[in-house]
Amino acid sequence: MLEAQMELTVDELKGLVSQRAIDGETMILNMGPQHPSTHGVLRLILELDGETIVNCVPDIGFLHTGIEKNMEAKTYEKALVMTDRMDYLNPLGNNLCYCLAVETLVELDVPPRAQVVRVLLTELTRIASHLVWLGTHALDLAAMSVFLYTWREREILMDIFEMCSGQRMMTSYFRPGGLWRDLPNGFEEAVQQFIDLFPDRIEEYENLLTENPLYIDRTRGIGVISTTEALEIGLTGPNLRATGMPFDLRKTRPYSGYEQFDFEVPTASNGDTYDRYVVRMEEMRQSLRIVQQALVRLPEGPFRSDNRKFVPPPRSELGHSMEAVIHHFKLWTEGFSAPKGAVYVPVESPRGVLGCYLVGDGGPMPMRVHFRTPSFANLQALPMLAKGHLVADLVAIISSLDPILGDVDR
Amino acid sequence: MSGAKAFLAELRQELEDRVLDSFEFRDQFTAVLQPDAIADACEFLRQRDFDLLIALTAADHWPEEPRFEMVYQLYSTHLDVLIGLSVFLDGDEPKIPSIETIYPNANWHEREVFDMFGIDFPGSSDLRRIIMPHDWEGHPLRRDYPLGYEEVQFSFNYDEIDKRKKYAKD
């Protein structure tokens, strides 16, 4: 029984591949799910004519963990920890998206300090995510040293995240109403050190790749997509900006105070793998600019809202205030209730538009949470991009889309 | 935000009573449509520069009827306007026309809704399960689908549990 399921049947393939494959003229090749350059557990069914890809059918779902279903059985605050685990390279960005959705639904205000810290840490996460992308992308194209250098800088960022949240990756640091706790001592110095160091390091990566003839050969003209096609297939983020369209939700619909920061939206014009690389490199510089500005203007004040119906009181109040004890007890047992209604909050994640659709039913648990994840939407463009290229180029195309399989399958 | 309101008024004029309701909630505008009006509404908004289908999903209001709510979020990248469309479907053989011909990226999103909620999309070019295994029984995101707590089958009680188990058989 099990073996029969594992095998690819002709019936399953009908409609997915051309008649030539069923007649045996072209070859069907299974790639993944356990393949080092599919960035996780992505399975592709390739139809090949020689080494040229005629057809590419992605098969996803190997990392499905039922996050949306699980969140329906948790209170709003407890459901937050699930969001870290979706896009594990952008945990703080996911936290932010979910918190904004909850805050919109219950109409909760966030103090200025928390907003600036959120922007600062989200941008650091963006840099960390792009560093992982850059390292693995270069590794897929056999440039191993880049990987080692990017991991070195990512480690500094991981230390910063650990410093404020206690966790390197599964941070859960942003909470509805603000932050889990205030920034620790030494945070500002650590970020300042990173700001001083990082511009040189970006130069270092660029020296390795930007004008490297081998890299250019492997990426220029590979996986080209136009702006219209990209929008039709739902491609967003750096992949869309590489086609020449300066679409960035941080600019068009600023959230969490992004309108106060001065930054550019980098674009390129050809929409190929090389341009997607160029855009991401420039994005790291722009993110660093935002981090720099956020650090300078970091306001003093409370780090979370004092609305006691939604945000638990500080520990120090519990000793002398009965009301604080009641709020503490209510919030950590029952949780807060959200009104009946639905909100949709899109934000710009390192990969594109990350949207949270949140439905409240008047109770303490969400009735439905849906994440419009950028990796899922972007991966849909893969068959279009891959057609007509060589198998070796497919590896470059997959990594240039930057899919995170945890984000695809949720 | 007022842009969305104007578009909804236009939509109401175009589709007349096929727009059942339109409302504002937390500065977000949504139109409730009849199931047969979804393709026309999408086509209408597509021509008015709503170039990105930013989300397509569903919610299950079980045990209330109509049970399923299809949700479409259309976004115009030039005008920066977000409009929500929502369609209520009966729990008994729910189906709604596919909008894949208007927004090609609806394909995977519709497959996901089909997989997770069991809603049929007549007109879709490739409606298969996308996330769950192809031989899975049931639709996990329905509210009446259990979240875990299944008995583990060992060799001594395999047959007994197997008899009353509804799904996950071969």
User: What would the pLDDT profile of B74-89 be if each residue is shown by its tens digit?
Assistant: 999 888 889 999 999 9
Average confidence score pLDDT of chain A: 88
CA distance A66 to A58: 20
| Token couple for A190 | 């650590």
Lowest mean pLDDT among A3-17, A63-77, A128-142, B114-128: A3-17
Q: What tens digit of pLDDT does each residue of A317-353 get?
A: 888 999 999 999 988 888 888 999 999 999 999 999 9
Closest alpha carbon within chain A to B52: A231
Chain B residues with CB-CB distance to A343 below 8 A: 25-26, 28
Average pLDDT over residues A13-41: 77
> How near does any CA of chain A get to the CA of B37, in Å?
21
Chain B residues with beta carbon closer than 8 angstroms to that of A231:
51-52, 77
Please tell me if residue B169 touches chain A, with a CB cutoff of 8 Å. Answer: no
- Which residue, among A17, A42, A103, A231, would best test binding to B if mutated, counting the most B CBs under 10 Å from its CB? A231
Residue A122 has pLDDT above 90, yes or no: yes
Q: Does B107 touch chain A (CB under 8 A)?
A: yes
What's the pLDDT at B164?
Answer: 72
| Percentage of chain A exceeding pLDDT 70 | 96
DSSP E strand stretches across A70-208? 174-175, 178-179
Angstroms from A104 CA to nearest CA on chain B: 7
- Enumerate residues 356 to 395 of chain A having a beta carbon within 8 A of any beta carbon in chain B: 357, 359, 367-368, 370, 372, 376-377, 380
Of A349, A377, A396, the closest CA to residue A39 belongs to: A396
B55/A370 Cβ within 8 A:
yes
- Please check the confidence at residue B168 and state whether its pLDDT lies above 70: no
Please indicate whether, in this complex, the C-beta atoms of A357 and B52 are within 8 angstroms of each other: no
pLDDT at A102: 93
Query: Residue B101 corresponds to which tokens in the numbers above?
Result: 């011909």
In B, which residues are within 8 Å of A233 by CB distance?
104-105
Please list every residue in chain B whose beta carbon sits closer than 8 Å to the beta carbon of residue A377.
105, 108
Positive or negative, the CA dihedral A388, A391, A396, A397 is positive
For A345-390, what is each residue's pLDDT tens digit? 999 999 999 999 999 988 899 999 999 999 999 999 999 999 889 9
Q: Does A102 touch chain B (CB under 8 A)?
A: no
Task: Tell me the pLDDT tens digit for each residue of A263-292.
Answer: 999 998 888 999 999 999 999 999 999 999
10 Å Cβ neighbour count for B167? Answer: 10
Residue listed under structure tokens 């069907």: A28
Q: What predicted TM-score, i.e. pTM, was given to this entire model?
A: 0.89
Contact B132 A107 (CB under 8 A): no
Q: pLDDT exceeding 70 applies to what percent of chain B?
A: 94
Does A140 score more than 70 pLDDT? yes
Distance CA A321, CA A343 (A): 35
Position A1 scores a pLDDT of: 34
Nearest to A370 among B30, B57, B132 (CB): B57
How many Cβ atoms sit within 10 Å of the Cβ of residue A52?
14
Banded pLDDT at A212 (limits 50, 70, 90): confident
Mean residue pLDDT of chain B comes to 85
What is residue B150's predicted lDDT score, i.e. its pLDDT? Answer: 66
Given an 8 Å threshold on Cβ–Cβ distance, is B170 in contact with A70?
Answer: no
Upstream peptide bond of A238 is cis (omega within 30 degrees of 0): no
Res A6: pLDDT: 47
ipTM attached to this prediction: 0.86
Q: How close A318 gets to chain B, by Cα (Å)?
A: 34
